[in-house]
């Protein structure tokens, strides 16, 4: 169960982590975030700004697949889009730095 509102990202992030306990789901989130960054970088490098529309799809399709198939919960993105986006990048940095297992 989630609180109706979060006063800060600091309050939200533990909830986010609780919704991502499955290892495969976390891996899909990390892969999706990296893919979204790659698509955005490719769009910038090629000067194809319309490609930026594909970045959210590239990032969230794997993540939402993880929620449906492995976590069996709904993505917090729908209720807390900005906190969720920040949490996706925070999780990525924690995994890449070795602070969080993936």
Tell me: pLDDT of 51 over 60. yes
Residues 23-40: pLDDT tens digits? 999 999 999 999 999 999
Largest CA distance in the chain: 44
Contact (CB, 8 A) for 15 and 2: yes
What are the sequence ranges of the domains in the chain?
Answer: 11-97
Rounded CA separation 13/21 (Å): 13
User: Which residue has tokens 């949490």?
Assistant: 87
Contact (CB, 8 A) for 21 and 9: no
Q: How confident is the model at residue 4 (pLDDT cuts 50, 70, 90)?
A: low
């Amino acid at each position: 169960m989630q609180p109706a509102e979060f006063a800060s990202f600091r309050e939200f992030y533990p909830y986010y982590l609780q919704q991502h306990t499955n290892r495969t789901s976390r891996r899909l989130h990390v892969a999706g975030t990296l893919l979204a960054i790659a698509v955005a970088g490719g769009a910038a490098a090629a000067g194809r700004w319309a490609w930026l529309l594909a970045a959210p799809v590239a990032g969230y399709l794997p993540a939402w697949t993880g929620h449906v198939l492995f976590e069996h919960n709904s993505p917090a993105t729908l209720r807390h889009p900005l906190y969720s986006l920040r949490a996706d990048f925070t999780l990525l940095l924690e995994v890449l730095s070795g602070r969080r297992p993936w």
